[in-house]
Amino acid sequence: MTPAIDLHTHSTASDGTLTPAELVRAAADAGLDVVAITDHDTTAGWDTALAALPPGLTLVRGAELSCRWHGVDPAVPLHLLAYLFDPGHPELADELARVRAARQVRGERIVRLLQADGIDISWTEIITAAGGGTVGRPHIAAALVRANLVASTTEAFEPDWLGERYRLPKEDIDVFRAVALVRAAGGVPVFAHPRATRRGRIVPDELIVELAGAGLAGLEADHEDHTPTEAAHVRALAAELGLLVTGSSDFHGTHKTVRLGAHTTAGEAYERLVAQARGVTPVASG
Ligand code: AMP
Ligand code: ZN
Ligand code: FE
Ligand code: FE
């Protein structure tokens, strides 16, 4: 039987709604053989996910790094999945801490903008609900839903709300620096949803060619934000550049509708990924 491998999920350590322990249990219940925990800009969920690992499930420890490409003006934000890196690597850990701190400042500024327009939501309440997890727009979206100002997270991300009008840039990591740091920390960098046009601007293929030369290991092709045509394009580009291809759910609990295992990664690509890792290893339970 081919294993079910989902390499991109979020917990309450960032903007997911299941705790890391609940996440690994849900992954086992969903029939997954391998799951990666990839919270935004943090490794805070790793230990509790490991401690709760159910029998038969393998945990891949990772993170999704907030990056930016400065090759055009304004710079383009993008996400880099980083797998099996050493979480104690000082420069990488410093960058993650810096981005998390900047997310707090930015989140509060977004809330102040909303409040200035008479929208009654509370930053303290949002921070409390985030429970120490990396703060992101989904936490603000949840507050808008709780206040009955929008009907759903999806609506909260429309242009009149967090998608554009109340969207502020983050302080991200330069993407070339991020790829270099992930490799330096023994990790494996994979470009997350590179053609997700529905989320905003995307980068040109030329950048991906450059990143492949700079140490990028793979591209995430199968993702709910890619149309079949976009996924096929990513797969063809990966083949051309000798990069591995991943697929994943990008599960966020009830902050999104996608289910665990909605998209998966082939065993062969997973093996190639693990073979490149020098930071930490996948952990199998039972
Ligand atoms: P942030 O990192 O604060 O800029 O927020 C971006 C996060 O919001 C992404 O990682 C997704 O989890 C989520 N997100 C982005 N667009 C949407 C959308 N249209 N609907 C629901 N969630 C979204
Ligand atoms: Zn997210
Ligand atoms: Fe992402
Ligand atoms: Fe994600």
**Tens of pLDDT along 104-136?**
999 999 999 999 999 999 999 999 999 999 999
pLDDT for residue 286: 67
d(CA 95, CA 110): 22
Please indicate, yes or no, whether the overall pTM of this predicted structure exceeds 0.85: yes
The conformation of residue 88, written as its DSSP 8-state character, comes to T
pLDDT for residue 198: 84
Based on its alpha-carbon atoms, the radius of gyration of the chain, rounded to whole angstroms, reads 18
* Nearest atom, ligand 1, residue 135 CA: 3
- How many residues can be counted in the chain? 286
DSSP secondary structure, 8-66, as one string: -B--TTTT-SS-HHHHHHHHHHTT-SEEEEEEET--TTHHHHHHTPPTT-EEEEEEEEE
pLDDT for residue 55: 96
Residue 153 CA to ligand 1 center (angstroms) comes to: 9
Residue 118 CA to ligand 4 center (angstroms) comes to: 31
- The preferred substitution site among 41, 106, 157, 193 for testing ligand 1, maximizing ligand atoms within 8 Å of CB, is 157
**Closest Cα to atom 13 of ligand 1:** 138
- The preferred substitution site among 11, 12, 137 for testing ligand 1, maximizing ligand atoms within 8 Å of CB, is 137
d(CA 281, CA 273): 11
* pLDDT < 50 stretches in the chain: none
The conformation of residue 135, written as its DSSP 8-state character, comes to P
pLDDT for residue 1: 66
Ligand 1, pocket residues at CB < 6 Å? 15, 40, 136-138, 153-154, 157, 199, 252, 256
> CB-based burial of residue 223 (10 Å sphere; 0-12 exposed, 13-18 middle, 19+ buried)?
buried
